[in-house]
Chains A and B, each alone.
Chain A
Amino acid sequence: MTQVIKIALPGYNASTDTNPDHFALYVDQQTDYILIKEKSYATVSVTGSRDIAHNLGYIPFCLVFQEISNGVWRKVFSTAIDGVGASFMIDGTNLKLIGTGTFSYRIFYDEVT
C-alpha cells in the first residue's frame, strides 16, 4: 500500500487533488517533490567582491539579490546586469558576490550538480 503524506493549501482537497502546486507538502512514494531547504541567509556589504563560505563540498542552489537603490532589490544572475555590474559565482566552498553595494543572499542545502 502506498504511503502518502499530503498537506493541501487552503481551498484544495488533499484527498482528490493531484496538482502538486496545490500542496504545501506532497509525498506519494512515486515522485520526489522536494522542498528546498535553506542553509543560511544574510544581507552584506560588498566592495568589488566578497566570498561567503558555505563549506558544503558541493555546489548548492542559491539566490542572490542586490539593493540597486534605497529599498529596491533586484535579482542577480551569473553575468552582470547592464548598468549595475553585479553577478555571482559559486563553487563547492564559497558563494562569491561580485560588485559593489548591498547584497542579500540565500544558500540552500539542495545540490545543483
Chain B
Amino acid sequence: MDNVVKVARIGKSANSTDPNDFIFHSLYNTFKIVKEATKVVTLLASTANQSFTEAHNINSYVPLVSAFAKKTGEAWVFLPNGLDVDTFGAKAGLLGDITFNYVASDPNNIIFNFNNDSASTAEVSIRYFLLEKV
C-alpha cells in the first residue's frame, strides 16, 4: 500500500479518487516553476524578427519556458503567437503593432522574438517562467 500525503479541495473528500478534487496529492508530480523573472526589451521601429536572449543559467537540462508580454503604458498582456491588440472590431478584426512571435529555450538561453510594425520604437516588458525539463 502506498503512503500518500494529500490535501483535498474545499468541500471535497480526501478519499476521492478524482485527481481534480485535490490541491496536492503526493502520487502525482506537482509541476514546478523553477524560476520566474522579468526582462524589458526595446524593439526597433518598423522591424520584423527581432530576437532577444537571456541566459537561463540552468546547466543540467533545457527548461520549458512560458512567457507573457506587455507593452509599456498599455494594460493588455499578450502571448507568443499573438499581438498587442490596440483596437478590435467585427469588421476590422484584431489590430496591433507588436507581434510576439515566439518564446524558445536552448541549453543556454531563452529566446524571445518580436515584430514591431510601428514607425516608433517600443518598450516591452516580458514575464517568463522556467518550468521543468523538456
Q: Are A82 and B101 in contact (CB under 8 A)?
A: yes
Q: Are B105 and A39 in contact (CB under 8 A)?
A: no
B24-63 interface bits toward A, Cβ cutoff 8 Å, 1 = contact, 0 = none = 1100111100000000000000000000000000000010
Q: How many residues of B contact A (CB 8 A)?
A: 31
Q: In the bound complex, what is the Cα–Cα distance between A5 and B8 (angstroms)? A: 12
Instruction: Give the A-B pair count, Cβ closer than 8 A.
Output: 88
User: Which B residues contact A (CB, under 8 angstroms)?
Assistant: 7, 9-10, 19-20, 22-25, 28-31, 62, 64-66, 79-81, 101-107, 111, 131-132, 134
Q: Are A71 and B23 in contact (CB under 8 A)?
A: no
Q: Secondary structure at chain B's binding surface: helix, strand, loop or mixed?
A: strand
- Residues on B with C-beta less than 8 A from A109 are 19-20, 28
- Residues on A with C-beta less than 8 A from B79 are 77
Return the chain B residue nearest A28 by Cβ.
B10
Q: How many residues of A contact B (CB 8 A)?
A: 33
User: Which A residues contact B (CB, under 8 angstroms)?
Assistant: 5, 25, 27, 29-30, 32-39, 43, 63, 65, 67-68, 71-75, 77, 79, 81-82, 104, 106, 108-111
